Amino acid sequence: MANKIILSSDEPISCPKCNHKFPLHLGITQQTIEKYESEYEAVFAAERKALEERLAKEAERKANKAFTDQIARLTDQAAESTKAAEDAKASIAKAQSDAKAKALAEFEQEKTSLAKELADKDSKLRAFREQELKLRAEKRHS
């Protein structure tokens, strides 16, 4: 296809012989106008189709990139959530372990205290019984 110039059909032109000015459409036959018009429309349609295809491919590429970025962000968020859940479980397990150890320590301390108190009471009870037995024995002898 040769180089084309697109002009308005109302474009004024001059006759090369007499310099008479007239609109372009009066100097060109209707058949010639229709020929170039259909060629122009075909070229325009092909260019439009190529542009639409390029735009569709670009839009698809951008959408894929956006989805890939979004998937990466969601994957990172999921990993962070999983790590946070694991950290929370570890904290709960540590808190339970600490509470259990503290409860056991308090229980052992209370058990030791009660055992000591019981031993003191047993010792005093033995002393009172011995004293009672002595008093009874003295009472019998007197």
Give the pLDDT confidence score for residue 140 in this predicted structure: 84
Predicted TM-score (pTM) of the model is 0.43
pLDDT for res 72: 95
Q: Is residue 31 part of a domain?
A: yes
pLDDT tens sequence across 9-39: 778 888 888 988 888 777 666 667 677 778 8
Give the phi and the psi of residue 8 in degrees, each rounded to 5.
Answer: -75, 145
What is d(CA 106, CA 101) in angstroms, rounded to the nearest whole number?
9
What's the mean pLDDT in 58-79?
Answer: 95
Q: How far apart are CA 107 and CA 115, in angstroms?
A: 12
Q: Would you say residue 73 lies in a domain?
A: yes
Q: In residues, how long is the chain? A: 142
Q: Is residue 6 in some structural domain?
A: no
For residue 55, the model assigns a pLDDT of 95
| pLDDT tens for each residue of 80-132 | 999 999 999 999 999 999 999 999 999 999 999 999 999 999 999 999 999 99
pLDDT of residue 2: 60
Q: Can you give the pLDDT at residue 26?
A: 74
Residue 58 lies in a domain: yes
Tell me, yes or no, whether 3 lies in a domain. Answer: no
Q: How many CB atoms lie within 10 A of CB 72?
A: 10
Domain of 110 in residue numbering reads as: 12-141
Could you tell me if residue 7 is inside a domain? no
In the chain, the number of structural domains is 1
Position 111 in a domain? yes
Does residue 134 sit within a domain?
A: yes
